[in-house]
Amino acid sequence: MKRKGRRRIQSIKDLSGLTAGTQQGSSIHQAVPEVDALLRDGWKLGKVSLYASYPEAYQDLANGRIDYVLNSVVQSQMSSRKRPNDFELGQPWSRLVTMPGQ
């Protein structure tokens, strides 16, 4: 998930060096090395900020403290529907995740 209108983030490689947020101890937190592995050829995952809950991560995303949030597709879709003026979905990053049209 990214802030609405954040054009700099269009693909996985655009995440290089940017700050991510995710919930500490979540299955997504455990999969962060998978995202890092997708950023090959000199690209590197930036800082990962850990939160007690996703709503805290989304608040920091809205306030510009982090660049994107790593969460499941279903949860990200629900959050972007609740706050369509603030958030939009980015590219799915997990080889286990597929979305229609992707």
Band (33; pLDDT cuts 50, 70, 90): confident
| Of residues 87, 93, 97, 5, the one with CA closest to residue 43 | 93
Distance in angstroms (rounded) separating the CA atoms of residues 28 and 83? 21
By percentage, how much of the chain surpasses pLDDT 70?
86
Distance in angstroms (rounded) separating the CA atoms of residues 5 and 28? 24
Q: Provide the CATH number for the domain formed by 2-88 in this structure.
A: 3.40.190.10
Helix (H, G, I), strand (E, B) or coil at 30: helix
By percentage, how much of the chain surpasses pLDDT 90?
43
Contact 44, 12 (CB under 8 A): no
Q: Is the pTM value of this prediction over 0.85? A: no
Other C-beta atoms lying within 10 Å of the C-beta of residue 29: 14
Q: Where are the domains of the chain?
A: 2-88
